[in-house]
Amino acid sequence: MELTFKEFLRGGKEQLTAAGFPEVDAEHLLAHVLGISRMELHNPVTVENAINAIGDITVIEETFWKMLDRRCAHEPLQYLTGVAYFRYLELQVGPGVLVPRPESELLVDAVLKNIEGRDGAVSVVDLGAGSGALTLAIATEAPQTHLIAVEKDPAAVEWLRKNVSRIDETVRILESDVEDALDGVKCDVVIANPPYIPDGQELPKDVAEHEPAIALFGGEDGMTIPRRFINAAARLLKSGGFLAIEHHESQPIDIAAAMLSDFENIHCHNDLVGRPRFTTGTRR
Ligand code: GLN
């Protein structure tokens, strides 16, 4: 006998729980298959309409089970639904680009606060922009800014282009290595979420098996790439310019040491669970 919508949602949750995944992912996946929001799953009329629009409940069910199997094979939820939420934004993501993390949201607050204290237009460069989460959050929340998003990985650039064209076309995308990007340019603010995980550190399977290593690993102690990003920031910033850089919880001292020669007012900020997560400083 054909299962009802509620029954296969329950079945999906059981499958995820048994495999050690959060059961709420079943709601996200089913809502995605139906083309509605997760909240709308609680509205029987919306659900009925969505099912009728697709026409065949067995198609919905099969698509849903396939997605559950992929989730149980550790594909990130956001790669399956194609969407990641970051601050006020809905970003498109998929294989080839890092899923924006909630802990990066606080870095945006610190940058916005710095921008508020400046007069007129503010130029901001995002080093290693990935999906564009940081860039687009700042571009949309601080309209007096001009953003340049630097990214060298072609797969990530594709996602960056999609998000920039949907959210804020005024952002300039530069496909380049951070080290030699924007020769001769000077800006007010640099933001960065570099790859900073120490090579060889064990990561959850979702991350290790599906997200791009180029966006994650920063060298033997994770600091090789962040050091390059700090040097690039020192080159790009005007005197009095502001740097905000995310890092590993093990790196606040190494980051401060790398900033010491060119920056002052160096402060480390914790993330929501109290781990040292990003550092800010002012270019001398
Ligand atoms: N914070 C990310 C993670 O936990 C890593 C992001 C990065 O290396 N920039 O996987």
Instruction: Note whether 185 and 46 are same-domain residues.
Output: no
Instruction: Note whether 168 and 269 are same-domain residues.
Output: yes
CA angle 215, 217, 219 (to 5 degrees): 135
**Looking at the 3D structure of the chain, how many domains does it have?**
2
Condensed to tens digits (0 to 9), the pLDDT of residues 97-144 reads: 999 999 999 999 999 999 999 999 999 999 999 999 999 999 999 999
| Structural domain range at position 29 | 2-73
The residue to mutate among 196, 217, 228, 247, having the most atoms of ligand 1 within 8 angstroms of its beta carbon, is: 196
Ligand 1 atom closest to the CA of 207, numbered from 1: 10
Instruction: Note whether 55 and 186 are same-domain residues.
Output: no
**Does 87 reside within a domain?**
no
Instruction: Note whether 40 and 105 are same-domain residues.
Output: no
The pLDDT value given to residue 3: 61
Q: What is the 3-state secondary structure (H, E, C) of the chain?
A: CCCCHHHHHHHHHHHHHHCCCCCHHHHHHHHHHHCCCCHHHHCHHHHHHHHHHHCCHHHHHHHHHHHHHHHHCCCCHHHHHCEEEECCEEEECCCCCCCCCHHHHHHHHHHHHHHHCCCCCEEEEEECCCCCHHHHHHHHHCCCEEEEEEECCHHHHHHHHHHHHHHCCCCEEEECCCCCCCCCCCEEEEEECCCCECCCCCCCHHHHHHCCHHHCECCCCCCHHHHHHHHHHHHHEEEEEEEEEECCCCCHHHHHHHHCCCEEEEEEEECCCCCEEEEEEEEC
The residue contributing the CA closest to ligand 1 atom 6 is 216
Is 196's C-beta closer than 6 angstroms to any atom of ligand 1? Answer: yes
Is 99's C-beta closer than 6 angstroms to any atom of ligand 1? Answer: no
The pLDDT value given to residue 8: 84
Nearest to 197 by CA among 179, 215, 210: 215
Instruction: Note whether 155 and 244 are same-domain residues.
Output: yes
Nearest to 173 by CA among 54, 41, 181, 238: 181
**Does 81 reside within a domain?**
no
The residue to mutate among 86, 97, 101, having the most atoms of ligand 1 within 8 angstroms of its beta carbon, is: 101
The pLDDT value given to residue 284: 98
List the pLDDT tens digit at each of the 284 positions of the chain. Answer: 356 888 889 999 999 999 999 999 999 999 999 999 999 998 989 999 999 999 888 899 999 999 999 999 999 999 999 999 999 999 999 999 999 999 999 999 999 999 999 999 999 999 999 999 999 999 999 999 999 999 999 999 999 999 999 999 999 999 999 999 999 999 999 999 999 999 999 999 999 999 999 999 999 999 999 999 999 999 999 999 999 999 999 999 999 999 999 999 999 999 999 999 999 999 99
CATH number, domain containing residue 192: 3.40.50.150
Ligand 1 atom closest to the CA of 203, numbered from 1: 10
Cα 181 from Cα 177, distance rounded (Å)? 6
Condensed to tens digits (0 to 9), the pLDDT of residues 4-26 reads: 888 889 999 999 999 999 999 99
Ligand 1 atom closest to the CA of 222, numbered from 1: 8
Instruction: Note whether 185 and 275 are same-domain residues.
Output: yes
The pLDDT value given to residue 56: 86
Instruction: Note whether 62 and 112 are same-domain residues.
Output: no
What mean pLDDT, rounded, does the chain reach?
96
Instruction: Note whether 41 and 149 are same-domain residues.
Output: no
**Does 86 reside within a domain?**
no
The pLDDT value given to residue 45: 92
Going from the Cα of 196 to the center of ligand 1, the distance in angstroms, rounded, reads: 7
